[in-house]
Amino acid sequence: MIAKHTLQAAELLAAPRGASGHQRAYDYVRGQTQRLIEPLNPEDMVAQSMVDASPAKWHIAHTTWFFETLVLKAFVEGYRIYHKDFSYLYNSYYNSLGERMVRGKRGLETRPTLDEVLAYRAYVDEHIAALLLRASNDEALLLRVSPFLTLGLHHEQQHQELLLMDILHLFSHNPLFPAYQSSPPTLMRDVPPHRWLDHEGGLVEGGYAGDGFHYDHEGPRHRCFLVPYRLGSRLVTNGEWLEFMDDDGYNRHELWLDDGWGWLHKNHVSCPLYWQRVDEQWHVMSLYGLMPLNRHAPVVHVSFYEADAYCRWRGYRLPTEMEWEHAASHYPMQGKFLDSGYYHPQVADNEDYHQLFGDVWEYTSSAFQAYPGYRRLEGAVGEYNGKFMSGQNVMRGGCCITPQGHMRLSYRNFFYPSMRWQFGGVRMAADVD
């Protein structure tokens, strides 16, 4: 049931058809955001726990501002913006779109209240509906609106994931360990053994292929030469990570990148981000609150530095993003995404044996850089991805809180190597000798 539902959603979002298709896609995404904030109270939605995170209220206002700015202001003549100060409040990082608040102060905006922000959402939804109604009789208009509306929907899906990441990070600072969701799923099973899957490589193609929606940096499609390589059949587990810790992995400089070794000492890192010792037992803070650590489940919330050190400790390495994409291209894009209703990575099972998609974002060794032939877009849209091509690493495959309709084989997510609040995990790779 779920699968069918989300596949429809994926189709809806990749290439919505007609004005009504756009409206259905819009309703689907906007409705999902609304459902995501249901377990929160207004107070939860105010706070910002670090400069990289944002308050939940900000996310739902910002995504609305995105539609107002790129769609309504652009395509509705005489459109009256909802509030003159909202652009200042809810612009994230678009230099092209004017002045904005200092990022680290978002948690101070107790006003507008949640109710006011919801009214803003309703106002924009209403005007989008009116615009699409008009476009149902004006194909030229629809053609012009469609790319921006569709971008807005994918943008909002990204913020759905961010909203959950940020709530978890916020709640992790609370000594009461609040749960976003009660009743964690109890898939109790042993993880299957780790095996190597070999790939021939050679001159392969990578990057987005097709004509649906995708981000600019997923292309152009291009050729790339891969030496024979192997990928682990499954993700690294919490139990395996404990072996790394027991073998003094966090104290052995020879396993670490120099930047990582500095980061680790400066921040006193000695375990994954949300791990805690309670009554002599390892627990993990999650969207289900504090849970005992499941040794069979995939490790999550480690940094690139930690992922890299772990692989070196095992005598292996991380895959490059082209290795990952090439290998994954042989499998259907199935896995536990947000729509599956799991808010924490689960133990691998037969159905999604490889866990290539969903559960956790997988680290690659590849720096986030332009593909051959890539050109940064002009204007605000050009600030979406291209300006971040420095100092970050690519992650692949989506995670348990990524909306399925948002994911693609060619999807490139990117984070700085010290970041850990994203749902990042590890799959090993190796050379074929």
Binding of a second copy at residue 105 (CB under 8 A)?
yes
- Closer to a second copy by CB, 332 or 391: give it: 391
Helix (H) or strand (E) holding 291: strand 289-292
* Contact pattern from residue 241 through residue 260 relative to a second copy, giving x for each residue in contact according to CB under 8 A and a dash for the rest: ------------xx-xxxxx
Distance between CA atoms of 322 and 324, rounded to whole angstroms?
5
Using CB under 8 A as the binding rule, the residues of this chain from 365 to 404 that contact a second copy are 365-367, 369-370, 372-373, 376, 378, 382-383, 387-391
* Residue 225: other Cβ atoms inside 10 A: 9
- Closer to a second copy by CB, 246 or 378: give it: 378
Using CB under 8 A as the binding rule, the residues of this chain from 257 to 296 that contact a second copy are 257-261
Per-residue exposure over 274-299, b if at least 16 CB sit within 10 Å of its own CB, e if not: bbeeeeeebbbbbbbbbbebbbbbbb
Distance between CA atoms of 269 and 180, rounded to whole angstroms?
26
Using CB under 8 A as the binding rule, the residues of this chain from 301 to 320 that contact a second copy are 304-305, 308, 312, 317
Q: How many residues bind a second copy (CB under 8 A)?
A: 68
Q: Which amino acid is at 428?
A: M
- Torsion sign across C-alpha atoms 41, 45, 47, 49: positive
Distance between CA atoms of 218 and 373, rounded to whole angstroms?
11
Contact 383, 94 (CB under 8 A): yes
Binding of a second copy at residue 49 (CB under 8 A)?
yes
Distance between CA atoms of 172 and 100, rounded to whole angstroms?
28
- Closer to a second copy by CB, 9 or 56: give it: 56
Cβ at position 1, least distance to a second copy in Å: 34
Distance between CA atoms of 231 and 320, rounded to whole angstroms?
10
Name the nearest CA neighbour of 291 among 281, 302, 306, 305. 281
Where helices occur in 211-303 by DSSP H, the ranges are 238-246, 258-266
Instruction: Return the residue of 95, 122, 200, 265 that touches a second copy, per CB under 8 A.
Output: 95
* Contact pattern from residue 328 through residue 367 relative to a second copy, giving x for each residue in contact according to CB under 8 A and a dash for the rest: -------------------------------------xxx
Cβ at position 329, least distance to a second copy in Å: 17
Q: Hey, is 52 helix, strand or coil?
A: coil
Instruction: Return the residue of 194, 222, 283, 295 that touches a second copy, per CB under 8 A.
Output: 222
Name the nearest CA neighbour of 161 among 18, 29, 24, 44. 29
Instruction: Return the residue of 5, 173, 189, 330 that touches a second copy, per CB under 8 A.
Output: 173
Name the nearest CA neighbour of 27 among 159, 149, 180. 149
Angle at 308 between CA 307 and CA 312, to 5 degrees: 120
Instruction: Return the residue of 43, 77, 211, 351 that touches a second copy, per CB under 8 A.
Output: 43
Name the segment binding a second copy (CB under 8 A); options: 14-22, 173-181, 231-239, 401-409.
173-181
- Closer to a second copy by CB, 304 or 310: give it: 304
- Residues of the shown chain interacting with a second copy in the complex, contacts defined by CB under 8 A: 41-47, 49, 85, 88-89, 93, 95-96, 101, 105, 107-114, 170, 173-176, 178, 203, 222-227, 253-254, 256-261, 304-305, 308, 312, 317, 365-367, 369-370, 372-373, 376, 378, 382-383, 387-391, 417, 431
